[in-house]
Amino acid sequence: MTVEDIVKFLRKKGWIESTTESGAVQFNSPDFLGFNPTIEINIPRIVHAVDLDRYTSKMLDTLADIYDLSVTDLTYLIKPIINCHTQIYTADHVPPFLAKSLLPFPLYFLFPFSLSTMIFRTYYAYPYRWHYQRWYRKASEIIYRIRRPIERSGLGPYIGLLIAIQIFFVLLPSTPEFEQLRKWSWEHHLIVIPQTGPGKILAIIILLLLFKSIRNMAVAVLEKLWSLLAILPEREVKELIQRYLYLGRFSYIKQETLFRLLQHQYPEGTGFVVLPMDMAYMGAGGLKHHASYHRQMDELAAIKERFRDAIYPFVFADPRRIAAEPDQFDYDVIDGALVLRDCFIRKYIEEFRFSGFKISPALGYYPFDERLLPLWKYAADNAIPIMTDCSKGVLYYRGTKRLEWDRHPVFVEQVRGDYYKPLLMQEISNREFTSNFTHPLNYLCLLEELLLRQLVSNSRDPRIREIFGYTNSKTPLKHDLNHLKLCFGHFGGDDEWIRFIRKDNDNFASELLRNPNMGMSFLSNKEGETRPGRLAQIWRYGDWYSVICSLMLQFPNIYADVSYILHNPDIRPLLKQTLLNPRLKTRVLFGTDYYMVQKYKSERTLMADLADSLTNKEFDLMARVNPREFLYNKLYGAINI
């Protein structure tokens, strides 16, 4: 960063009052920085251009003391914020049968996601645009002219009563007794709307159009019915409907339009990590050709070309696509390093300069899938970041649980004495057994050399042994993934944060509190003895927040973002506490999960809530300093904003 950059920033903030014709810079006052009025910076009000280097260095040193940061990190604070978790994929990129795990065959065919998309597209193509039509404004004027004399004359309640009678008879059951009452009311002109089907519909429309209180009552009833879904045994039904609604709401919008809408909610210059989704293999039906994963990525490449340094898109990696498409990921191994051939990954990472990889194991695979191991070696050696979804959401594998998914491929549990068997995972429903793929403890199989060695030893592809320098099961690997740069999206989910808060007597959570520099021990007990079955105990009884924090403390490049969970005010005190840890505070990233989180709060509201909960220093770490460390890679260095 040059002196000119800093002066430009100070001027934009209003900390520089003016510049004279001779090139001098006039500051507002000695305490112009505004962080603490009691701190004085001994800088003259008039600083000549030749002295800017010296005074700028002095300013940065003083600010570094205030922020308790290095001068290098401090320069990041002068730069824009970065939202590390956003999405702009559309309804076209979602398979049709998300309801497959909730409804029996063939009922889920009756509620395809395309139905929600069609309804919203029809609404935005026609009724939504009526507000801007001349005839709509004219109709509104006519309704106003009808209502105005009624309200002024005091006849409103009587007319309301008359219409209420019409509605009463509309809803009245058809029985001989009520038919006599209906006939009498008709003869005495209490019913003025025919009781036919169209007449009933007309009565309801008139009631809703003319009386706002009735409309509000109808909305209140619908909201109560909606809230009932939250207490049903299948709470997932409500969550899935919400996902349908919010994806459908944006079904008429293209990715670029969504990105522009996102930009407009943030200060100028803000950067955004954009995460695509590849749902072709989740067992919920196929996608149309125009909405294929390749088309989605082509659109993202065009958006990146247009918006340059405002967008940092990732590449989605699915082991099943790698297996199905040989040109997806291809490489040579040269002296233990991966050199990419001409393939999809190389084009988007090295040519189009996409910023990282995205995975979503809940779609039906482990993050340590053998087909992904070479990709993770390439990412680790080049410091390319990986973003993984780590929460229990509604986008998960919709197919049938396979037999091999009953036992964990790596972790074992004690049967008796020294006899161990692979960890039994007895979950049956899709939502439950797919959380086994998402569990943060799975990533220890990549980061811990002993566990990675086991995976490499069992690999079917001989090139994997060459990549990691495998000798035998007793000899450490020559190359491991200890330096893998990984971010846990959603930080495990707000439900796991609440679980940590409420489990006062949990031994694993207590380990994190008692040992804030290392967190829980994964492979050994409190006596320091290695216990193969300990991981099974953590798997079953440990909360995800404690596991993720422990991984962040023990490995150099592990991050977590607070996307989506920010909407829950109950997690903010724990977030504040997390940022007090000197190690953890450098690994937490700001993210929102736009646009999925909007079913709870808007982007502006999330920003305001965060500003109310955190200090400037804490927010700047999450949104300015840490994201730049996360996005740095060895292929093309630091990001430009």
pLDDT given at position 152: 80
Distance CA 4, CA 23 (A): 12
Outline which parts of the chain fall under CATH 3.20.20.140: 242-631
Strand partners, 18: 26
The tens digit of pLDDT for each residue in 393-433 reads 888 999 999 999 999 999 999 888 888 999 999 998 888 99
Q: 49 with 598: CB under 8 angstroms?
A: no
The tens digit of pLDDT for each residue in 218-249 reads 666 665 555 555 544 455 555 666 665 666 66
Among 385, 327, 328, CA closest to 359: 385
Give the pair of three-digit tokens for residue 302.
């065009």
Whether the model clears a pTM of 0.85, i.e. scores above it, the answer is no
C-alpha to C-alpha distances, 267 to 275, 349, 359, 639, nearest whole angstrom: 21, 28, 29, 18
The tens digit of pLDDT for each residue in 286-343 reads 888 777 999 999 999 999 999 988 999 999 999 999 999 999 999 999 887 899 999 9
Strands (E), 295-376: 311-316, 331-334, 337-340, 356-359
Q: Tell me: pLDDT of 606 over 70.
A: yes
Looking at domain 242-631, what is its CATH homologous superfamily? Metal-dependent hydrolases (3.20.20.140)
SS3 label, residue 313: strand
Helix, strand, coil % over all residues of the chain, rounded to 5 = 55, 10, 35
The tens digit of pLDDT for each residue in 108-158 reads 667 776 776 777 667 767 777 777 888 888 888 887 887 788 778 877 677
Q: Tell me: pLDDT of 33 over 50.
A: no
